[in-house]
């Protein structure tokens, strides 16, 4: 009977150890989520601990292109965001020359072709396992305009120019 008791004790200890691992390696009870007040206090504390430069505090810094994330482009003058089921892209114009600046495919999609150099016409193609979207962009009065968006064809025969 002592063999049975030893096996039971080992099983209990193993169970307690498994619970401890599931709780992050501790036997302490799980912690409660932070309240809104606690979150706000932590944010206020972190803001007050950051160093400030008096010389630059009076000036508002302007973002550089490296400061802006590629995943969420925000259009400016001569820029336009386009997209569909396959993803989104940012196009910009410099006179009559269009450039596809950045692109983000949707989940399950990928960019199979992109012509992003400055040209009179720029193209981008998004593909999934079962679908395809192709976009052509031109500059009209200094603003990017969608030329054609072919879906499921893979060709540019619907191009009007």
In DSSP notation, 20-79 reads HHHTTS--SPPPPPPPHHHHHHHHHHHHHTS---HHHHSSPPPPPGGGS-TTS----TTE
In a 3-state reduction of DSSP, which class is residue 8? Answer: helix
Residues 152 and 131: beta-carbon distance below 8 Å: yes
- When pLDDT is cut at 50, 70 and 90, the band that residue 35 belongs to is confident
Q: Are residues 85 and 143 in the same domain?
A: yes
Q: Which domain holds residue 146?
A: 73-151
Band (148; pLDDT cuts 50, 70, 90): low
Strand partners, 98: 93, 119
Q: Is residue 12 part of a domain?
A: yes
Q: Read off the pLDDT of residues 54-65 as tens digits, 9 standing for 90 and up.
A: 544 445 555 544
Contacts of 153 (CB under 8 A, 6+ apart): 132, 134
Per-residue pLDDT, 135: 93
Quick check: is 157 in a domain?
no
23 and 77 share a domain? no
Does residue 108 sit within a domain? Answer: yes
In a domain, 34, yes or no: no
List, in order, residues 6 or more apart from 151 with CB less than 8 Å away. 84, 131, 132, 133
Q: Identify whether residues 19 and 80 lie together within a single domain.
A: no
pLDDT digits 0-9 by tens, 78-134: 899 998 999 999 999 999 999 999 999 999 999 999 988 899 999 999 999 999 999
Looking up tokens 């709780």 gives 23
In a domain, 36, yes or no: no
Residue 127 in any domain: the answer is yes
Q: pTM of the entire structure?
A: 0.47
| Shared domain check, 79 and 143 | yes
Structural domain contains residue 88? yes
Answer whether residue 16 is part of any domain.
yes
Give the residue among 129, 80, 87 at the shortest CA–CA distance from 111: 87
Based on the fold, state whether residues 85 and 16 are members of the same structural domain.
no
Separation of alpha carbons 99 and 27, rounded Å: 57
d(CA 19, CA 150) in angstroms, rounded, equals 55
Domain count, the chain: 2
Q: Are residues 80 and 141 in the same domain?
A: yes
């Amino acid at each position: 009977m002592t063999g049975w008791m030893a096996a039971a004790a080992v099983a209990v200890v193993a169970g307690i150890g498994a619970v401890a691992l599931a709780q992050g390696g501790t036997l302490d009870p799980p912690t409660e989520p932070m309240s809104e007040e606690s979150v706000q206090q932590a944010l206020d504390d972190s803001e007050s601990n950051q160093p400030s430069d008096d010389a630059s505090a009076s000036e508002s810094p302007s973002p550089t292109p490296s400061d802006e994330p590629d995943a969420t482009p925000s259009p400016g003058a001569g820029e336009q965001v386009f997209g569909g089921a396959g993803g989104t892209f940012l196009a910009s114009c410099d006179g009559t020359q269009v450039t596809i600046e950045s692109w983000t495919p949707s989940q399950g999609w990928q960019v199979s072709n992109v012509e992003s150099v400055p040209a009179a016409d720029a193209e981008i193609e998004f593909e999934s396992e079962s679908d395809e979207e192709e976009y052509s962009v031109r500059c009209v009065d200094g603003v990017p305009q969608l030329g054609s968006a072919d879906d499921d064809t893979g060709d540019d025969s619907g191009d009007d120019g």
